Amino acid sequence: QSALTQARSVSGSPGQSVTISCTGSSTDVGAYNYVSWYQHHPGKAPKLMIYDVTQRPSGVPDRFSGSKSGKTASLTISGLQAEDEANYYCCSYAGSYTWVFGGGTKLTVL
Amino acid sequence: EVQLLESGGGLVQPGGSLRLSCAASGFTFNNYAMSWVRQAPGKGLEWVSAISGSGGTTYYADFVKGRFTISRDNSKSTLYLQMTSLRAEDTAVYSCARYPFKVVAKYYFDYWGQGSLVTVSS
């Protein structure tokens, strides 16, 4: 199973919006609406931000939103805040009880 | 508060074995399927294995099949990963993660631990 493709880094200024993309294949992102996104501050436990492509767990600010088109899923963060600076990973169900993650995108808040 | 705390990592020689543990608290452990996910140095996350809440069903990534065994002791609220025939490429931080339901299905991981570092080197 190949990893999902994410840009290594993205940046934005406070208050701006950024979008992180995650490209997979017809056997994972393109096949299922089971994409999730995780925020990871190094040294801490990853945190679920989006599940089932667009769903936000309770407690996650509505500044975070998810979408999908074909084989590409996206995480958009609007109204960037300093605490949003972290690594973000996408994940997709890949069939046969397996999951595949992206390589991660480092978000820098300028 | 849901807490997952991994332990058991360390330095092991190629071909060696190691058992990781993940102590869970803050929820009814046997009501949730669990998983192991790893992150090699400088790399992204990689799903390793999953187990149902009862422990009766297990799943593995191809690259660990036949070498790693996932198990759980619901009386101790603890998840395990027995790793054998370890290779240099198994070097990673291993984290346990919880599925939102008792069965393993097309789900996400709603809580994670911080991880335990496993280094395979001579």
pLDDT tens readout for residues A19-54: 999 999 999 999 999 999 999 998 899 999 999 999
pLDDT at A1: 59
Q: For residue A13, what are its two tokens? A: 């200024």
CA distances from A54 to A33, B56, B119 (A): 9, 31, 37
Most distant CA pair in chain A, distance = 41
B59 inside 8 A of chain A by CB:
yes
Q: For residue B91, what are its two tokens? A: 């070097």
pLDDT tens readout for residues A70-102: 999 999 999 999 999 999 999 999 999 999 999
Min Cα–Cα distance to chain A from B75, Å: 25
Residue A2 in this model has a pLDDT that exceeds 80: no
pLDDT at B63: 95
Are A34 and B106 an interchain contact pair (Cβ–Cβ within 8 Å)? yes
Distance CA(B6)–CA(A38), nearest Å, equals 19
pLDDT tens readout for residues B58-77: 999 999 999 999 999 999 99
- Contact between A76 and A61 under an 8 Å Cβ cutoff? The reply is no
Three-state DSSP at B90 gives helix
CA distances from A28 to A68, A101, B57, B60 (A): 12, 10, 22, 17
Residue with tokens 């709603």: B110
Mutate to test the interface with A, among B2, B38, B43, B47 (most CBs of A within 10 A): B47
Instruction: Give residue B36's identity as a one-letter amino acid code.
Output: W
